[in-house]
Structure 1
Amino acid sequence: MTRPMHRRLLTLALASALSLPALAQTALAPFTVSDIRIDGLQRIGAGTVFTYLPVERGDTLDQGKAAEALRALYKTGFFEDVRLDRQGGILVISVVERPAINKLTLSGNKDLKTEDLTKGLKDIGLAEGETYNPLNLDRVTQELTRQYNNRGKYGVQISPSVERLDRNRINLTINVKEGKAAKIRHINLIGNERYEEEDITKGWESHTSNWMSWYKRDDQYSREKLSGDIEKLNSWYLDRGFVDFSLDSTQVAISGDRKDMFITAGMTEGEAYNFADISVSGDTVLPKSEVETIVSFIRPGNVFSRGLLEMATNAITARLSNIGYAFARVNPVPSIDRDKRTVAVDFQVQPGPRVNVRRIVFKGNTRTADPVLRREMRQFEGSWYSQAAIDRGKVRLDRLGYFEEVSVDSEPVAGTDDQVDVVYTVKETTSGSISAGVGYSQLSGLNLSLQLQENNFLGTGNRVSTAITRSDYQKRYDFSYVNPYFTDDGMSLGYNLWWREFDYSSFNVASYSTNSGSFQVFMGLPLSESDSISLMVGLDSNEILAFEGSTPQPLVDYVNAVGQRTFHSWRAQVSWGRDTRNNYFTPVVGGTQSLSAEVALPGSTVEYFKLQYDISKYWPLHPALVVKTALNLGYGDSYGKEYNRNICFTAPTLVDTNNDGKGDTWVPGPVGTDPCLATSPDYVKSVQASGLPFFENFYAGGIASSGRVRGFMDNTLGPVYTSSFGYRQPLGGSVLLAGSVEAIFPKLFDSPSARVSAFLDVGNVYNGWDNFDAGELRASAGVALLWRSPMGPLSISYALPLRKKDGDQIERLQFNFGGQL
């Protein structure tokens, strides 16, 4: 007997042996079923089994009917084994249930998120509480292996393990050893005669190893990335006029150890073509001349480009979608003349029905009230569909700062082709903070506080902040309230009320204290989607506590010149702001500008003004790289009356304080102002109060000041006063200049709540324009992390001073709550 014949007989014998149990179960003599009993059930109810069972009381059970019953019960997936027996007229069904999944655990998976995998497993029946089917586990193993292979991880190992428990339960664990992704060792293009390979592949996501691969991971092979790159190759040539370009072959080879990939693409370039006539046809809705103007940037004689065709198509579609034609289609139909190597294009417009927005629906806003979102909309219910207005609504929601993510979809209304519902789906995030207890600031140390700050108070969109803070250096009581929609047209109204007892020496500035209070009212009015103006008026009272010997003498002289230590002022501020950012905390495009003028009005103790201009701009250079540039300018001075006084001193006297008959303590003599209280002063000093008051100065240095130069201690740059003991006290200045360039890496973390940047800061403050010196600018470079923590935004930076001078106070590691990168 030959070996192949022997194998066939063995196979038939095995198949017959495996079929005997099933035949034995169905080999029942026909009988009429008087009753049905099910044995072996533990979790599954008998009623559930009867639902699937094709046999009822009174039926005649023969071999065919029994086989049908067995197939139906096995098909449910509930049972490992099913047997049919007979006891008189009773049909006895004996079953062995499959175990239930008590716990499902995934371990070792990094590239594929656990929540995504869990959802996929549930779709095929592998979830906690479900019935365990080994066939599903095999499917999962194969599917996970395929997904990891698509990501270039060919060494992945999927090891499921099953732990048997009591009561017919199991714990299922899927262990994943991802291994390392295969690296692209070589990319070879064949047939590119007109362009260098480096130019063609410059915009690809797949590259051989380079100095940025540690971040971009562009040297890791992925089937999805390569598919996108092949499409970019096709677009590269079609955008340069090569209409006849063809990709002849794509080959991907892997090394024997599955660690290296080799990519080869063969192509035929063909000849370059130019545009010929450009025309518009179809139901253009708008005047045909207007549509022709939209595509007028494509001129006959220019090199053909598929990218230009897409731009023109999108421009027409966008114009029509903004007047209600949400489903407008534009088909560019080319006519190729291969003899002349030209392409004539006819843009055929199919507007479709004009669409009305029936409803605007919000999902995911469990805390924020619908009206708060609805007032940000520029698309209205019952009006014609406008894509620009819908997109603008999304941007405005992103900029509120209440949401981590915002998405928008248009859903057609069933039964009609001219209505849609616009659905905005939001994912809420922390919009404020509540804290009580012990706090710590790197700048000012330990403090006890009770603080509430909420930018979306009770979901109303109103901003409320109240704080009570006590420590060795301050007592502070603050309350602030802003209603950003005091009127329906967007006018805001707010109030500030505060009292502070402050020791500024704890904040790296001059040694003096203040007892100050203020009440302010402010309002804002939008000028456009991105521009607004605001007005603030307020009454301030500021008691300056300056002390001879500890407070810098220029500050003491200023207070003496005024002749009183309590400064009262009526203040007014007018400001203009522009905000075009796409996101409040983590923008990647747009920017901000603000220009403000603050004046202490006539009648104030000291009359002064302050001007400040801040601008920032985000430049998206790549999905993985955004550059931010920023500039801060400030200037202040006094106007109107000035204070000039003569301070009169008498000589100190030696006083006997211990009553031993000998002088032991020098006591300063009387001090007065002109006209001198002392009849015969021993010394007269002229003092003057002019320029911006020292308690309104700008400060630079650190992570939190208006002149941010990280790497230097907060507020320590600029003019300083050095005492006779060598103690340096920063004074601030009336002129501020600071700027920065920051490279932000938004994709370094998968989480949208964290981002990293590398920065270069430059800045300083000066005492008046006459003392401005570019040579005094300080500079630093470093890295920073912004994390939107549950307590609020946290900024951490590490910087190295690049330009410093002797006496500068260095602080490389700094952190601050609040702000953004």
Structure 2
Amino acid sequence: MHSFFCPSPLRPVAACVAVVCGLAALPALAVEPFTLKDIRIEGLQRTDPGTVFAALPFRIGDTYNDEKGAAGLRALFATGLFKDVRMEVEGDVLVVIAEERAVISSVNFIGLKEFDKDTLTKSLKDAGIGEGLPFDRAVVDRAEQEIKRQYLTRSLYGAEVVTTITPLERNRVDVTFTMTEGEAAKIKDIRIVGAKAFSESTLLGLFEQSTGGWLTWYTKADRYSRTKLNADLETLRAYYTNRGYLEFAVESTQVTISPDKQDISITISVREGQRYTVTAVRLEGDYLGRDQEFKDLVRIKPGEPYRAEDVAQTTRQFTERFGLFGYAFARVEQRPEIDRASGQVVVVLNAEPQRRVYVRRVNVAGNTRTRDEVVRREFRQFESAWYDGQKIKLSRDRVDRLGYFKEVNIETNEVAGTADQVDLTINVVEKPTGNLMLGAGFSSADKLALTGSIKQENVFGSGNYLGIEVNTSKYNRNIVFSTVDPYFTVDGISRAFDVYYRTSKPLNSQGVDYELSTPGASIRFGVPFSEYDTVFFGVGVESTNIKGTGALPNSYLLYREEFGQRSLTVPFTLGWARDQRDSALVPTNGSYKRVNVELSTLGDARYVRANAQYQRYIPLGTQFTLGLNSEVGWGKGLGGRPFPIFKNFYGGGLGSVRVFDQSSLGPVDVTGTYIGGNRRINLNAELYVPVPGAGNDKTLRIFGFTDAGNVWGEHESIDASSLRVSAGIGLSWISPVGPLKLSFGSPIRKERNDRIQKFQFQIGTAF
């Protein structure tokens, strides 16, 4: 872009251009420096003149020269608002002539089905294409090509995208993307050539991608993706190298598409090599005089086939162990010594601990909202202390478990000019921690339940929790106000306040109208005794009102006549929890344990109530998971008083013994009301398997279950013959509208008057 500065009187631009073209060999015309008396803007239609004045690097009264003119042109073009800008001098007045870019009036999509419109609109706006933004044809063309590329990633090889620009009055344009998506190309055939040790069907069963099945409409596993294919090839490689084939290689991969762009064929050529057995493991290098300690970490077993997974795990544990002693940059390399004649291999592990270092400084970056102290107090690696890899990993995990960040990463940087110092930088990416939710749930027991909540997990970046929850269902309703300070003390003791109002209706076969209402409040503290164990204790006060008419169940009527309609309770609570599951939503490994004791020695109701639970998830291969759960509840009245009936345990239904109606196990009142009991046992076993055709998708799983349990009253004896037992199958799905769980089964052991509900389900959604 050339600009020409013409001396007064004002000369037409064309004349300036003609003069310059005619005198091309001469130096460009220059303007003598002068003091600006005025700046005049011409050509603006929508842009505010103040925007131009703000961008110019000079003001009225400044000395103007060619350098300042060039800087002004650069500044105005940098705004992105103008297609062309010229500057002319008229006496001591500068005239800025601007030709504005067209502005995008709207962005429209025709034929869009594969992508979400709102998401695509936001992505385009981030790229510079959106309502009210300057129009740039080059940016639009790049966006069109990117949309086409995204269609290819979803196997829509026949998709076409045509961009139409429609001029409007006042220098505006409409941008319209017209999509012809067509049908997605499907994987018609996958072949593995060169496999001899394992059947082709076995190897293809490892792949996420497949040739189709009855659930591929949901999993889209029959759509080709280069990224997924690469992941499948890594899975294939791991399968072989974990079974002794350490020289296994994928020699080539051919992907062909039919002329009509609807069918894809994949051919994978592999070289298996021979199978090797490990005869010995040898340690070389410097192990800090702790050779035996490192040998105990070795997972490679002589006499068994070579397993790359065991080798990788061993080297990783070696590196982590070096980190415990301050060697942040230790190198551990494995070198197989192969004897092809005998099919044997010696695994050599060579270690170079490098140098020991300590942490000079711990920095926090990326926290735009959360205070530094909220992140720092989770750190177990301290400044000016020796580098400890285990403490650093624990620190990262603790920060991640806060739930305030989308990403948490720790960088280790050497300090320039030193040989024994590093700086740690924990990089976080903030995510929204507030939640305004309206929800609905439907279950075979509670029917329609409405919920609503306002929650803020990180109030003002302090790490404190504040929430209000409302829940309503046929049998249970509540409103709860809660606040939690996770670091009430500098030692990490948490404090929580709850204020609540709950109502419940025990299951009654005659549909009598009565309920228990319980307003209350509590305070509790959580004391971390280790990185995984927390002990809770607290105290509360609540008042239970037994509401009802003359049709009130006899057991409730008798309790009310003896102790009054209202019962004041002052419960003290003590509990312990340890959660070591790999996921709270779809666990496949680990355990969960908890014990809770509630004791009331003051007020009208005096009792002790205890509940203990143990869960264990055992992975059976890569696709199957066995889940075990046991829960025991026990309660007893104190001071010669009976156990309060409104503190009874209930059993039956989802979360307890399936197939039996919700809360229908245990003693029955003379009026037919299921009143629960002061003792309860639940035993559950579930075997989770992937849905055929869904690959390894753990959000959609089939399970077989066996449940056993019951509830007993205060004067009933507990024996195995009174346990109710059921078995069946079910489906667990983390669906787009919320968690769904349904089961169908039959009772194995039941009594004549038990209420049976073979099909049970529950679904929740937020909208």
Aligned to 1:375: 377
CA shift for structure 1 position 411: 5.5
Q: Conserved in 1, the CA contact under 8 Å of 2:440 and 2:765?
A: no
State the SS of the aligned residue for 1:490: coil
Instruction: Mark the structure with the bigger radius of gyration.
Output: 1
One-letter code of the match for 2:380?
Answer: R
Determine the C-alpha separation between the residues in 2 that align with 1:217 and 1:446: 33
Aligned to 1:697: 648
Determine the C-alpha separation between the residues in 1 that align with 2:719 and 2:276: 63
CA shift for structure 1 position 241: 3.3
Match runs of 1:202-281 below 5 Å: 202-275=205-278, 278-281=281-284
Is the deviation greater in 615-624 or in 275-284? 615-624
Determine the C-alpha separation between the residues in 2 that align with 1:472 and 1:301: 63
Determine the C-alpha separation between the residues in 2 that align with 1:27 and 1:425: 58
Determine the C-alpha separation between the residues in 1 that align with 2:472 and 2:267: 69
Aligned to 2:22: 28
Is the deviation greater in 623-632 or in 444-453? 444-453
Aligned to 1:314: 316
One-letter code of the match for 1:695?
Answer: F
CA shift for structure 1 position 479: 6.5
Q: Conserved in 1, the CA contact under 8 Å of 2:506 and 2:675?
A: no
Q: Conserved in 1, the CA contact under 8 Å of 2:664 and 2:754?
A: no
Aligned to 1:731: 675
State the SS of the aligned residue for 1:377: coil
Q: Does 1:719 find its partner at 2:667?
A: yes
CA offset digits 1:425-453 (Å, max 9, x no partner) = 24444566699xx9999999999999876
State the SS of the aligned residue for 2:673: strand
Task: Please report the RMSD computed on the Cα atoms of aligned residues, expressed in angstroms.
Answer: 5.7
Determine the C-alpha separation between the residues in 2 that align with 1:589 and 1:729: 40
Structure of higher RCO (CA pairs closer than 8 Å, 6+ residues apart): 2
Q: Conserved in 1, the CA contact under 8 Å of 2:20 and 2:28?
A: no
Aligned to 2:408: 407
Cα 1:185–1:563 change in 2 (3 A) is closer
CA offset digits 1:334-361 (Å, max 9, x no partner) = 3444444444443333444535262241
Match runs of 1:378-389 below 5 Å: 378-389=380-391
CA offset digits 1:478-519 (Å, max 9, x no partner) = 77655443332233445566787x674699998666676767
In the superposition, the TM-score normalised over structure 2's length comes to: 0.72
Determine the C-alpha separation between the residues in 2 that align with 1:447 and 1:203: 41
Is the deviation greater in 805-814 or in 625-634? 805-814
State the SS of the aligned residue for 1:525: strand
Determine the C-alpha separation between the residues in 2 that align with 1:451 and 1:74: 49
Match runs of 1:647-666 below 5 Å: none
Determine the C-alpha separation between the residues in 2 that align with 1:712 and 1:451: 31
* Unaligned residue ranges in structure 2 (runs of 5+): 1-16, 32-39, 59-63, 68-75, 89-94
Determine the C-alpha separation between the residues in 2 that align with 1:815 and 1:606: 36
Match runs of 1:627-666 below 5 Å: 629-638=628-637, 641=640
Match runs of 1:653-802 below 5 Å: 692-701=643-652, 708=656, 715-721=663-669, 723=671, 728-738=672-682, 739=684, 741=686, 762=707, 764-767=710-713, 768-770=716-718, 773=721, 776-777=724-725, 802=746
The number of residue pairs the alignment matches comes to 704
CA shift for structure 1 position 223: 1.7
Cα 1:49–1:119 change in 2 (3 A) is farther
Q: Conserved in 1, the CA contact under 8 Å of 2:248 and 2:271?
A: yes
Cα 1:485–1:233 change in 2 (3 A) is closer
Cα 1:369–1:207 change in 2 (3 A) is same
Q: Conserved in 2, the CA contact under 8 Å of 1:25 and 1:84?
A: no
State the SS of the aligned residue for 2:259: coil
State the SS of the aligned residue for 2:22: coil
Determine the C-alpha separation between the residues in 2 that align with 1:122 and 1:466: 35
Q: Conserved in 2, the CA contact under 8 Å of 1:242 and 1:271?
A: yes
* Unaligned residue ranges in structure 1 (runs of 5+): 1-22, 60-72, 86-91, 643-689
Q: Conserved in 1, the CA contact under 8 Å of 2:477 and 2:504?
A: no
Cα 1:711–1:385 change in 2 (3 A) is farther
Cα 1:347–1:104 change in 2 (3 A) is farther
Determine the C-alpha separation between the residues in 2 that align with 1:211 and 1:468: 40
Match runs of 1:37-116 below 5 Å: 99-104=102-107, 108=112, 110=114
Q: Does 1:575 find its partner at 2:575?
A: yes
Is the deviation greater in 197-206 or in 474-483? 474-483
Determine the C-alpha separation between the residues in 1 that align with 2:626 and 2:401: 19
One-letter code of the match for 1:737?
Answer: I
Q: Conserved in 1, the CA contact under 8 Å of 2:433 and 2:457?
A: no
Determine the C-alpha separation between the residues in 2 that align with 1:317 and 1:465: 43
Determine the C-alpha separation between the residues in 1 that align with 2:468 and 2:156: 53
State the SS of the aligned residue for 1:730: coil
**Counterpart pick for 2:532 among 525, 530, 533:** 530
Cα 1:290–1:113 change in 2 (3 A) is farther
Determine the C-alpha separation between the residues in 2 that align with 1:143 and 1:392: 40
CA shift for structure 1 position 76: 13
Q: Conserved in 2, the CA contact under 8 Å of 1:712 and 1:812?
A: no
Cα 1:493–1:213 change in 2 (3 A) is same
Aligned to 1:330: 332
